[in-house]
Every structure is written in C-alpha cells, then in structure tokens.
Structure 1
Amino acid sequence: MSCNIIKNLLILLIISAGFVFFSLSGCVSQSQQGKVSYQIPEPPEISTGYQPKPGWATSEFAVASANPLSTDAGYQIIQAGGNAVDATIAVQLVLTLVEPQSSGIGGGAFFMMWDGKEIHAYNGRETAPSGATERLFLDENGETLQHADAVRSGKSVGVPGTLALLNVIHDEFGRLPWTEVLEPAITLAEEGFEITPRLHELLENDESLRNDELARDFYYDEEGNALPVGHLLKNPALAQILRKVSGEGISAFYEGDAARDISARIQAHEQPGSMTTEDLEEYPSLDLETEEICNDWKAYEICGFPPPASGHLAIMQILGIMENLKEPEVAFLDSIPSTGWLHQYLEAAKLAFADRNQYVADERFVQPPGGSWQTMLDSTYLAERAQLIQTNASMERAEPGTPGEMQAMYGVQKTQPEYGTSHISIVDREGNAVSMTTTIESGFGSRIMSDGGTGLPGGFMLNNELTDFSFSPIDEEGNPIANRVEPGKRPRSSMAPTLVFDGETGEFLASVGSPGGTSIIHYTAKAIVGMYEWDLNAQKAIDLPNFGNYNGPSVLEENRFPDNLINELEAMGHEIIIRPMTSGIHAIQKTDKGYFGGADPRREGTVMGE
C-alpha cells in the first residue's frame, strides 16, 4: 500500500474520531534511516483561542513542540534514523521560521537530556556584551527606563546562544550529519509555509515591529497590515544563513557578514546597544555544559536547571513548602484545584518568589546562599518557611528568608515583566529524553530583525533578553542587586525544562516545560502536580486552569474558576486578578505501552510519534 494511501486512511480515521488534526507527513520508512529526505507536510489546521486537544499515545517515540511544522520536522528526523538531539535541532530551527515571536537563532536556550544512564545539561543563555554596564537601563538622571522602551531597543539584545548550543549538543550526541538535521528548516524557508491565525494575530497587534524596516517589509503589506492567514511566506534570508551554517558551521553566524549585520543593526538603533562582532565571535568558546539540580518530591525525583535559571528552584520551593502543610480535605475537585489547595499554593509561591528576587542570578557572578543552591531547598529551611503560612488568611507580601547561615547582602529586585519562550519535549526510540526551553524573551524580541548580511527578504528576530536583568543595580537601601547587569553575565531566567524520575527505581517518567515568562514556574509546577499528585495524564494535566502568584496579587486564568472559589480566596485576604494566562506546556509521559504526549490547548502545539 502506498504512503499516500496510508496517510489518507489515517486522516479519515482521525477526523471520524471527532477532532481536527494536521496531516501526517513524510512516511519515512525504517529502510531509509541515515538519509533525510524532508517533505513539507500539508498546511495544518490551526485555531486561535482555546482548542481542546486529545493527547497522543505512542509506542516508540514522541515529539512535542509549539507548531505542527516544527513537530513534524522532529518526527521526520527520527523516522530517518536520527535521535532526540537531532530532532531537537530540527525542531528549534523550524521554530525560528514559523514561531518567530517566541524563539530562534537570535536567542538562547536551556537543554537537558537523559541518555538512560545520566543527565546532560547545557546552558545556551544569552550573555551581556562586554560593553554593557550596570547603568544600561538607567537614563541620564539615574532613573530606570520604561520597560517597553528598554525592550524595543538595541540595549536589550544579548549575545545569542542558541546556535552555539545546538552545535555543542550535536557534536556530543547527534547521530545524523549536521547538514541533514538543518534540511527541514532550510527547505521550509525556501519553499514557504502558510501563516497561521496565531502568527497573523500577533503580527497585526504588534505596532512596534512595524518600526523595523526589515520586519515591516517582510511581515506586512504596503498599507501596514499583517500578511493574511494562509499567505505562503518564504524566508530566503534565513534559508541562505542556514545554508551557510550547514556548510561552514556556526562560524558562518558568529563571524563574517552575519555577525557584522547583527552588531550593526544593534548599534544603529535609535537606542543603540554596545554589542560588537568580537562579542559574537567569543560566544562559541564558552563552556556551555552545566550541572543539573535534582530534588526529591513525594515518590519522585525532579531534575531541572541551576541559575541563572530560577524555575527549578522556585518550583521545588513551592512544592517543598506545601509538603510541610496539612493537606486540605479536598485538594482537587471537578477538574480544578480546591480553594484550600490554591490558598496553600499561592502563599508558598509568595515565599519562593521572595527568595528568587533576592538570591538567584548567574552563578558565575554571585555566590549561592550558604555556598550551595541546595540550601534554598533544604528540608529544615522549607519547614520553617511553611510555618509562615496561615490556614485561612493570606499574607500580603512575603519577605526573603535566610537559607544559608547568614543573610545575603544582596538587595531585593523589584518585579519586572517577563514574556516569550517556547518549549520542546522529545523522547526517541532509544529512550533518550530531551527537555529544552528556548526563548527570545518578549514577543518578537527586541523588534530588531537581522538578515544576516544577505540583503535578501526575511531573516530572524534578535532577542531582548537583557531586560531580564534588574533595571536598577541597587535597591532602595543601596544594596547591590544579584541580578544586575554586568559584562558577560547571563540574565536570570524563569525557564524550567524539567525531567521527572521514579524516586525509588530512577526510571524516567516525564519531560515537561512551558513558555510564559515568570509564569513558566507556575505552568510547569501545575503540570507536575496534575500528573503526579492528581494522577492525570499529560494532556489533562496541561488542560487544568492556570494560576500563580509572584509575591503580590494572585492571578487566575480567565473563565476557568467559579465565582464561589474566587470569593472564598478573597475572603481569606487574597487580592485576585483575572486574566488570560496563555501557557504553552508540552509534556511526554512514559507509560506501560510507550509514551503519552500532551500539548497546550491555548497555543498551536502538537505531538507526533509512533
């Protein structure tokens, strides 16, 4: 039976099952392993808003990412004999093209992989240029810049790390040739993809992006309207950049025309940054390998990233504090957390964020309290913090604790907005499990586009990652902020790529993570709790309503919580804000029969596998 007949039969079966799915692609047989013959799949059916998703059961491998085309690229790479690392590279490079608002080669990423024996972690976070100072986001009067103005400037752009990261993990673990894992993104960039409703809506609503000449000419028509849904968008500039990277290696990005174009556009901005070609050339020489942090929770071991990532520390503080509290009689009812459980979670989150804002920054520049980040997760310390939570009354705001023997001399960073990012979860046929969260920070990053010096239409967006630093280098008492700007420093991140293991046997159980700025911490924690405290499958855990607290008002997802629950929380003293909370959680769980993958109904992601 031909590949097309098989595909058509499967599509009919899927549609008859009652949900819309994008077409299956490739049909690359096992006999074709070792050679990628990438085929562009049919345009996916994409919707805006909340689109229920079924979850996907697979027996051999699974790929989860933020766009059907990127998921399909990873799927085809594994079908051609690639492993999880090869698939991760293909997925990320396609995301550069089809999800330019969230991640790409102009940004950075945290990568973590379980190879069946040990975890490997690599830090591709952006760095501050050598010319950056702690006054980067202060005006001539010493006042902090408006956040939006800082984001949309050359000042905000950090030295990109994504391509250097992809190169390192390919050298260490990749199976297919570098040229082959780049082929899906190159082919799609050359032949085009159809603009989805989500991308169209984001383009239409972003006025600042129109101020960049390259982006305006590429994404908008002559009247300044975003290109319509279904428009076939080709990106010849990105295709040429990736062709050069495919043939010459990442020096084609970090040196030469591409590096000159990146630095020139940053320095020529009306609010210029200081990044030089030397800053770019230096990045690939950095040691990106780092050591994961693993902690016990209930019957599980949860592994995540050390600083400058704050996600794992905050998640494990929240869950660890809650373990010291008397569990409410009802924690989960009718597909939502109970009032009592939410009260405990939101209060624990205040305590975790208070510590985060004082202590967490790039560990190459700051000392952990007590000499180890594990002091923040010490069981005695978390039990002490839990005593600050009252049964029926909310604290207005939490103060940082003292996890080490002495109070840190760092000041407390004020809360600043964080945005953006994308998450990739992949498990291959050999059981290699990847969790990678990747970002350019805000939607469309700094709103500065680079064509890599090609002179062709298109290109990629440059990040605004430096706005994740504290804008002010000191607090009101004059104490230095741990997360202040310093040359070569990586800004603090909320990203939380996570791997879950059986605490007794060490068996791999899940890969999970999410985009969402500061809310990544809450989205990822929610998925972990849903899967391993409330016994939900990955999809149902992802579907749960979102909630969070950042050491201030509590936020609940719009239209997902009943009035009586909101009223009960307010009666306890919680200040409640209701708003959309657009997570993009992806998770792959190990099951008795293989794997089960879930993708967030709030975005256009999906899962594929066999």
Structure 2
Amino acid sequence: MPLSTKSLRNPALAPLLLSPILITLYGCTPGPKVDEVANTAEKTMVTFGDAMVVTANPIATSVGEEILRAGGSAVDAAVAIESILSLVEPQSSGLGGGGFMVYYHAADQSIEVYDGREKAPLGAHSDMFLQEDGTRYGYLEAKNSGLSIGVPGMVSMLDLAHSDRGRLPWGDLLEPAKRLATEGFIPSPRLRSFFEKYGMRLIPTTLEQGPLDAYQYFFDDNGTMKDRIVNIEYADTLDIIAKDPKAFYRGPLAEAMVSAAAHSPRAGTLSLDDLASYSARKLEPLCMDYRELTLCGPPPPSSWVAVGMTLGMLEATNFPTGDEMTDWAMFTEAQRLAYADRDFYVADDDAVAVPLSGMLNRDYLAQRAALISPDGAAEKVLEGDPWAFDVERTAALPGRDTTIDYAGTTHFVVVDKWGNAVSMTATVESIFGSTRMAGGMFLNNELTDFAKEPRDADGVLVANHPAPGKRPRSSMSPTIALNSDGSFNMATGSPGGNSIIAYTLKTLVGVIDWELTPQEAVNLPNVVARGDTVRVESARASAEMLESMRAFGFQIKESAGENSGLSVILRHDDGSLEGGVDPRREGTIATITPEP
C-alpha cells in the first residue's frame, strides 16, 4: 500500500510529510485570535469536531466558524467566507469572479450543484483575442484587458444557494467583510509574496498598459506596498448587495463594471444587458460510483468528469496493487488518459455537444484502462472515442484544443451541525484577474479560459472556443463523496488551474484507496500528468519515487513548488469530522463541538 498510515507517521519521512501549523480560530474580523500548535516532524495534524470549516485564509476560516456558531448553515458560512476572500485573497477569487458549489443536504441526503461560472458577453466572438494582423495577444495583454472580463457569476450563485439553503439573513452574512473593508486589513504573507516574486509584472503601472486600479490599491504614492489596506468602495458594494443581491447586476455597480471593461487599451464588450440577463444555475450533479462510495461534482463547463473518469479507469484495473511505485505509475497513466479526453471534448455543453455519458460509461473506461500497461508509460496519449458509448452520439468532432487555464483560484469546505456540507471552488482566473476593479472588487479575466487558438491547424473550431454568451471551460472540480447509505463521507477540492483535477484526485485516492488521513493525503507530493510531461513536486517526492517514475518511462519535470490549496473534511463512522488543509498556502481549520 503506497505510503501507509504507519509509514507516514515515521519521523524518517518528515521531509515528505511536513504538516502545517494548526491554527484554532476563535475571533472574528478584523483579525483572528490564534492559538498555534508547533509543528513537529513526528506529529501529523489531526483535527476533529462536529462542525468544521477549512479555507485557505485564517480570517475567512474564522468568519466561517463564527457564522456556524451563530446558527448559520454551511451555505450561510460559504456566503460570508467568499465575501471575506474577495477582500483578503483578491489574487484568487472574489465577487467579481465566479465558481461552483456542490452542496449536500443531510435531511434528504441529496446533492445539489450551483453553477456560478462567468459567461462571455454577447459581443464576444471566436477571434476576440486575435489582433488585426491575425496574431494572438500575449497572455498578459489578453489577461490585463477588458476583453478578458466575463459576466461575474459569484453573487448570483451565492444568492441562489442562500435562497434555497440559508438560515441567517443574507445581509448579516456580509457584515464581517464590510467591517473588515472599513477598518482595513494587513496583507497576508502570501499576498505580499506575489509582488516579491513577480514585481510589477503582475499589474499595469502605466496608462499605456491599462488602468492603474490595482497599483493604486496596493501601493502608496511612493511606490511602497501599503501595510494596511482599507477598501471603502468594497464596503459600499456590500451595502448595496446586502439590501438586494440582484442590485449587483444593475444600477451603479453594473455601470462601474461596464466602464472598467470598456477602458482602453484592449477594451471589452461587457454591457449592461449582459449583466442584467445573467442568472446562476442549479444543476443535477455528475456522479460516479467508486469502491463503496458515490462521488459527485459539477457537470460542464466544470471538468469534474475527468475526476470521475480517472477513478473509473483505476477501478477497472487491479489498483491499488499494494506496491507504492506501481500505484503511482497507474495513477499517473490514468490521469493522462482522462486529461486527453477532457482537453478534447469538455466545454460549455449549452453551446457544444459533450459526450458525458460516454466519458463515464464503464465499458468505455475499461477500454481506456486497458491502455495502462504494467510494462511502462505510453509514449503518447490521445483522446478516445466516448461518442461510441454515448446515447446522444454525434459524428461531428471538435478541433484539437490549446487551452491554458491559470491558477488564480481558491477552495473551501464546510460542514454544519445539521450535517449539511459545502464544497466550493471560486476564482477570478489568474492572479488578480483582469487587474481592473469596480466597486472595490477585482474583475475576473475568465474569458482567457477559452481556447488559446479558436481553431486547430485544420481550421476546425475547438470545443472550448469563445462565443457570445458561452461559459469558458473550467478545471474547478469541487467534490462530495457519499457512503453507500447516502450519508456524507467526504468533501474535497483545490485551486490550481488545470492541475485542479490531479490535486483533487490525489486526496480521493489517498483517503479511499491508500487509507490515509485527510492531512496525510493533502501532504502527499502533487503529481500532474496532463500530456506527455509529468510534473512531480520534487520537494515532497522521495528520490526513489522520482527514479521509479523515470524508469517507468515518464518524462518527469521536477517542480519546486505547487499551487494547490486543498481543503478536505472526512466524516468518520462515529460521526466525528476530520480535516485536512494544504500547507502550501495559508489555510486553517476551525472545529466546533457542542457545549458540554
């Protein structure tokens, strides 16, 4: 068994399994009170409780905890958490972006999906990121532009979920973020690190590059990053939507967003009509039986189908084998096969045909799994033909995709005292989104999640090409697992661009197949196998693992660090909850137990 629980707790493996500092949160805004438990090589963090919050930011975790203590539901906590993250973690997500929420309702053991994915304006078209001479804008030019801004879906999604499953008044949930925006917050080390690492390349610093919103927000007149950031505009935005969340999509806020998108250079086409016509969706989940569990996530434009496919392929083999290195090889090959299909077929299924039932068909997955050889890695992996196994088969095939989705995303999980659970991934796409601001919010650059080139070498439109009103494909894959009796088992997910699929899979396989704790699974090295190159987090992988994977035939690219931000909650048979949080970010866990 790969990296058994027994071996994980061996001090000799400490370099592979460094645990994060446990921070138990009691306070609320503007800053949490913390009780730090020192990390040791011998100790793996284990956190139990009857209700739980896990996020990538300690202030957000603290606020989520306070909402649960006040009698709020998991959805109530999610609303408050995301309004805080929009302020303190603007490099990752916010009200100017979108996301997916997977919700488990304990009373009737149902799973619901809330889709807040951004949509392209009606003025969008397939060649929108091509210049007059036919060449494509460079990534930063496209990202830091009005062209990249999609209609934000976050507020509509949270409003929809709260209308269905909220317990506390909507406006009360925004108060902590409003107070923090007014009083100001100290930028976290991770937020500061982006500027320390990339300097001023992240944001426009001259009007020729674009509006100076971001620069003026973070830096003072001397060009020094501010020690405390106050955001009165964001507090005013929260005031507006506290009274009516639909006011986000009309009136002064909508006008400000349209104005920001229309600003030169590289003006976009976002309009008041685009905003007024947007509505988040409540969808049926995609689900896949795996072992004794049922795992569920969002349908397209999410890429969760690739999570289900990978697990289905592994179940069609003798995985887990009991041999650590063989298991890593099989896990990696299954990823490669799932990514190949995902990259070719998955897009907004309101706009293009996606062979979902074929991609999750057991016979098809067995056919794909047969390509996993015990003798070595495939030299090249191509997409299969799931349409042959799909009841809505079509003869039309898209072109070969070149989409690159970047890592400006967050993930959190919540379980409340009634047993309801939220697994939610939220994003503004890349770091600080478009870098354009309105109402104190960073507006997303989600439209760069469309294909890098709208057509392949033969001139055929790829599935994920830009189009009016279309949702760009997303890698976000929030997941909830259920036991065979329908009760909640586990919630997991991660940020990380197209690597989200791999990160999420690692925790599922780690807990379900390798019998690890959530924290142990999170701490495992990240292995991302999209295409012919396999990226391995060398700081956490053993020399034996790297050598074995190279010997198997993988083209290994050692990664010095990974952008995962996993948050996990597992429910044990006795009803207690155990959390895991990613040490690669600033995540924390809050636990709530009944009063004695």
Q: Normalising by structure 2, what TM-score?
A: 0.89
Distance verdict in 2 for CA 1:291–1:23, change over 3 Å? closer
Looking at structure 2, the residues matched to 471 and 329 of structure 1 have their Cα atoms a distance apart, in angstroms, of 39
Report the aligned-residue RMSD.
2.3
2:23–2:589 contact (8 Å) kept in structure 1: no
Whether 1:345 and 2:331 are equivalent positions in the alignment is yes
Residue 111 of structure 1: aligned partner? 101
Matches for 1:550-565 after TM superposition, within 5 Å: 550-565=530-545
Residue 14 of structure 2: aligned partner? none
Residue 232 of structure 2: aligned partner? 236
Residue 226 of structure 1: aligned partner? 225
Secondary structure of 2:400 counterpart:
coil
Secondary structure of 1:421 counterpart:
strand
Whether 1:522 and 2:495 are equivalent positions in the alignment is no
Please identify, of 167-176 and 386-395, the stretch whose mean Cα deviation from structure 2 is larger.
Answer: 386-395
Looking at structure 2, the residues matched to 407 and 486 of structure 1 have their Cα atoms a distance apart, in angstroms, of 22
Looking at structure 1, the residues matched to 472 and 288 of structure 2 have their Cα atoms a distance apart, in angstroms, of 24
Distance verdict in 2 for CA 1:60–1:512, change over 3 Å? same
Residue 32 of structure 1: aligned partner? none
Matches for 1:533-548 after TM superposition, within 5 Å: 533-548=513-528
Secondary structure of 1:434 counterpart:
strand
Residue 97 of structure 1: aligned partner? 87
Return the offset for 1:20. 5.1
Whether 1:600 and 2:582 are equivalent positions in the alignment is yes
Whether 1:398 and 2:381 are equivalent positions in the alignment is yes
Whether 1:440 and 2:407 are equivalent positions in the alignment is no
Return the offset for 1:568. 2.8
Unaligned 5+ runs, structure 1: 1-17, 27-37, 333-337, 453-458
Return the offset for 1:93. 0.2
1:420–1:441 contact (8 Å) kept in structure 2: yes
Residue 73 of structure 1: aligned partner? 63
Residue 8 of structure 1: aligned partner? none
Residue 558 of structure 2: aligned partner? 578
Secondary structure of 1:435 counterpart:
strand
AA paired with 1:209?
I
Looking at structure 1, the residues matched to 156 and 45 of structure 2 have their Cα atoms a distance apart, in angstroms, of 33
Distance verdict in 2 for CA 1:242–1:380, change over 3 Å? same
Distance verdict in 2 for CA 1:293–1:549, change over 3 Å? same
CA deviation string 1:418-457 (max 9, x = no partner) = 222111100001011111110001011111122x2xxxxx
Residue 209 of structure 1: aligned partner? 203
AA paired with 1:573?
G
Distance verdict in 2 for CA 1:51–1:80, change over 3 Å? farther
Matches for 1:110-509 after TM superposition, within 5 Å: 110-116=100-106, 117=108, 118-204=110-196, 205-207=198-200, 208-211=202-205, 212-227=211-226, 231-247=227-243, 249-283=244-278, 286=279, 288-310=281-303, 312-327=304-319, 329-332=321-324, 338=325, 340-369=326-355, 373-405=356-388, 408-450=396-438, 452=439, 459-502=440-483, 504-509=484-489
1:501–1:509 contact (8 Å) kept in structure 2: yes
2:213–2:435 contact (8 Å) kept in structure 1: no
Distance verdict in 2 for CA 1:173–1:557, change over 3 Å? same
Distance verdict in 2 for CA 1:130–1:544, change over 3 Å? same
1:178–1:246 contact (8 Å) kept in structure 2: yes
2:80–2:177 contact (8 Å) kept in structure 1: yes
Distance verdict in 2 for CA 1:485–1:244, change over 3 Å? same
Return the offset for 1:58. 3.4
AA paired with 2:412?
I
Looking at structure 1, the residues matched to 467 and 20 of structure 2 have their Cα atoms a distance apart, in angstroms, of 50
Secondary structure of 1:440 counterpart:
strand
Looking at structure 2, the residues matched to 46 and 280 of structure 1 have their Cα atoms a distance apart, in angstroms, of 44
Residue 59 of structure 1: aligned partner? 49
Return the offset for 1:598. 1.1
Please identify, of 318-327 and 112-121, the stretch whose mean Cα deviation from structure 2 is larger.
Answer: 318-327
Looking at structure 2, the residues matched to 350 and 422 of structure 1 have their Cα atoms a distance apart, in angstroms, of 24
Please identify, of 568-577 and 553-562, the stretch whose mean Cα deviation from structure 2 is larger.
Answer: 568-577
Distance verdict in 2 for CA 1:539–1:281, change over 3 Å? same
Looking at structure 2, the residues matched to 85 and 329 of structure 1 have their Cα atoms a distance apart, in angstroms, of 39
Distance verdict in 2 for CA 1:547–1:427, change over 3 Å? same
CA deviation string 1:557-598 (max 9, x = no partner) = 032223343233223321110111121000111122521111
1:558–1:581 contact (8 Å) kept in structure 2: no
Distance verdict in 2 for CA 1:262–1:407, change over 3 Å? same
Looking at structure 2, the residues matched to 330 and 559 of structure 1 have their Cα atoms a distance apart, in angstroms, of 24
Return the offset for 1:221. 2.8
Looking at structure 2, the residues matched to 206 and 218 of structure 1 have their Cα atoms a distance apart, in angstroms, of 15
AA paired with 1:561?
A
Return the offset for 1:45. 8.8
Secondary structure of 2:525 counterpart:
coil
Secondary structure of 1:156 counterpart:
coil
1:46–1:197 contact (8 Å) kept in structure 2: no
Secondary structure of 1:366 counterpart:
coil
Looking at structure 2, the residues matched to 329 and 215 of structure 1 have their Cα atoms a distance apart, in angstroms, of 51
Secondary structure of 1:578 counterpart:
strand
Return the offset for 1:41. 4.0
Looking at structure 1, the residues matched to 320 and 296 of structure 2 have their Cα atoms a distance apart, in angstroms, of 27
Percentage of identical aligned residues: 38
Secondary structure of 2:63 counterpart:
helix
2:26–2:34 contact (8 Å) kept in structure 1: no
AA paired with 1:399?
L
Secondary structure of 2:429 counterpart:
coil
1:51–1:602 contact (8 Å) kept in structure 2: no
AA paired with 2:130?
L
Distance verdict in 2 for CA 1:94–1:474, change over 3 Å? same
2:99–2:426 contact (8 Å) kept in structure 1: yes
Return the offset for 1:383. 1.1
Please identify, of 562-571 and 351-360, the stretch whose mean Cα deviation from structure 2 is larger.
Answer: 562-571
AA paired with 1:414?
T
AA paired with 1:572?
F
1:56–1:607 contact (8 Å) kept in structure 2: no
Secondary structure of 1:348 counterpart:
helix
CA deviation string 1:212-271 (max 9, x = no partner) = 4222122013342333xxx23221111111012112x12332112211111111111311
Looking at structure 2, the residues matched to 277 and 132 of structure 1 have their Cα atoms a distance apart, in angstroms, of 14
AA paired with 2:385?
T
Return the offset for 1:382. 0.9
Distance verdict in 2 for CA 1:390–1:23, change over 3 Å? closer
2:25–2:35 contact (8 Å) kept in structure 1: no
Looking at structure 1, the residues matched to 273 and 233 of structure 2 have their Cα atoms a distance apart, in angstroms, of 23
AA paired with 2:366?
A
Unaligned 5+ runs, structure 2: 1-18, 206-210, 389-393
Whether 1:82 and 2:77 are equivalent positions in the alignment is no
2:477–2:500 contact (8 Å) kept in structure 1: yes
Q: Normalising by structure 1, what TM-score?
A: 0.87
